[in-house]
Amino acid sequence: MNKGTVAWESPSNIALIKYWGKKGRQIPRNPSVSMTLKNAVSKTWLSYSERNKEWLTFEFEGKNVPAFAKRIEKFLEGISEDLPFINDYTFHIKSENTFPHSTGIASSASAMSALAMCLCSMEEQVTGKKLEANEFMRKASYIARLGSGSASRSIYNSYATWGESVAFSKASNDYATPFSKYIHPIFKDYQDFILIVSGEKKKVSSTAGHALMNDHPFAQARYEQANANFERMLGILRSGDLESFIEVLENEALSLHGLMMNSNPSFTLLRPNTLQAIELIRDFRESTKIPLGFTLDAGPNIHLMFPKNEKEQVTNFVEAELKSLLEGGRYLKDETGSGPKLLTIAN
Ligand code: PMV
C-alpha cells in the first residue's frame, strides 16, 4: 500500500509513582505507575504517501508550530531503525487536544501515544503483516516510550506500570505493562479533578528535568524511595487501602518537587496558591474523613484524586474553598479512562 490515512485518539495519564530521571535510550531510572485519564485526549491523523522531497508536515490544532514539528521530526528519525518503512514515506500529521495547554495534563503522553498507535497501524497497512492484539499494544508502547517516557503508559486503559522492578516481574524498561486486571474495584472509576493554579508555560521541560537527576545529590535515595513506593502502590491498588494510597500519592508528588527545588539549577514550580490549596485539602480530609488526596505533575497545578462516590462532596468543597485560588476559577473533571481508540483507517 503506498498511501493511506490512519487516526487514533489516545489519553494522557497521571503518574501515581513518578518517573524522574532516565538513562540511555529513554530508560527510566525507577519504575512508575499511572492512572490513564478519560477526557484529556489527543487526536492524531497521519496521512502517508510515497516519499518525496518534503517528507514531513505537522499541524497542531490547525497551525504550524515549528517547535512541535522539530520534535516530531527528531522522533521519526530516531525510530527509523525500529520502523524501517518510515524512510520510504512522506508524512502529513495533524494533531489536536481536547484539553487546554499548560494545565498540568501531560500532553506529550497523549500526543506521543496517539502518534505511536498511528505508526503501528500504518506499519500493518504498508507491510500487510498483522500483529496479535497484545503484541501490537506492546510495540506501540515501546514506540511511544521513545517519544516520551510517560507516553508508554497511555497505551493501556485504567492503570499501567513502566520500568523494571522486583515487585512486578511482568514490568519492563522497554514498554509499559497493563495493571488493570489486578486493581481493587474502588480504583476502577477513580476521579481526578485538575485544579488550574496557573496556566503559564512550564519553566522546566521534562528533558531538562530528567537531566537534573544525573548528578543530583539525592539521586540514589530517590531511586530507593521510588522503588519502595512503587512496591507499596502496587499492593495498595490491589487492596484498595485508601489511607495508604493517599500517603504514598502525596509523598511522591512532594518528593518530585523537593528534588526540583534542591537540584542545581533549582526550580520552584509550586505557587503560593498550590501550597494554600494543599493545606485546605489536608484540613478537609482531616475534618470530613473523606479520602481526598492530591498529586502534582512537573508544574503548579493540583490533581485531586478520590473515589467516585465522593464526587458531589468534593465538587462542593472545590467550589466553596478552592475555586478562588485557581486561575479564572478553572478546574477540569477527569477520571479513569479506557485507553486509545482507533478513529480511521483507510487506503
Ligand atoms: O514522559 P516525560 O519525559 O514527559 O516525563 C514525565 C515526568 C513526570 O510527568 C513528572 C512523571 C511521570 O511519570 O509521568
Claim to verify: residue 36 and residue 170 sit in the same structural domain:
yes
Q: What radius of gyration do the chain's Cα atoms show?
A: 20
Q: Which residues have C-beta within 8 Å of that of residue 323, sequence separation ≥ 6?
A: 329, 331
Q: Ligand 1: list residues with CB < 6 Å.
A: 15, 18-20, 32, 106, 108, 148-150, 206, 256, 297-298
ipTM value, please give it.
0.99
Measured in Å, residue 50 CA sits from the centre of ligand 1 at: 35
CATH number, domain of 22, equals: 3.30.230.10
Mutate to test the pocket of ligand 1, among 150, 173, 204 (most ligand atoms within 8 A of CB): 150
Mutate to test the pocket of ligand 1, among 17, 18, 108, 207 (most ligand atoms within 8 A of CB): 18
How many domains would you assign to the chain?
2
Claim to verify: residue 100 and residue 174 sit in the same structural domain:
yes
Claim to verify: residue 169 and residue 262 sit in the same structural domain:
no
pLDDT at 206 over 90: no
21 and 12 in contact (C-beta within 8 Å)?
no
DSSP readout, 168-183? BTT--SSSEEE-GGG-
The cell numbers describing 34, all together, are 499511572
279 and 299 in contact (C-beta within 8 Å)?
no
Claim to verify: residue 140 and residue 268 sit in the same structural domain:
no
| Ligand 1 nearest-atom number relative to CA 13 | 14
Tell me the per-residue pLDDT of 137-174, one tens digit each, with 9 for 90 and over: 999 999 999 999 999 999 999 999 999 999 999 999 99
The cell numbers describing 312, all together, are 458531589
Measured in Å, residue 312 CA sits from the centre of ligand 1 at: 30
pLDDT at 1 over 70: no
Confidence of residue 102 (pLDDT cuts 50, 70, 90): low
| Ligand 1 nearest-atom number relative to CA 18 | 13
Number of alpha carbons in the 13 Å side-chain half-sphere of residue 319: 7
Claim to verify: residue 9 and residue 56 sit in the same structural domain:
yes
Instruction: Give me the domain span that covers residue 226.
Output: 186-335
Helix, strand and coil percent figures for the chain, each rounded to 5: 45, 25, 30
CATH number, domain of 320, equals: 3.30.70.890
For the question of whether the overall pTM of this predicted structure is more than 0.90, the answer is: yes
What does each C-alpha distance from 289 to 283, 313, 314 come to in angstroms? 10, 12, 12
Claim to verify: residue 54 and residue 153 sit in the same structural domain:
yes
Any idea what DSSP says for residue 319?
Answer: I
Claim to verify: residue 222 and residue 146 sit in the same structural domain:
no
| Ligand 1 nearest-atom number relative to CA 151 | 1
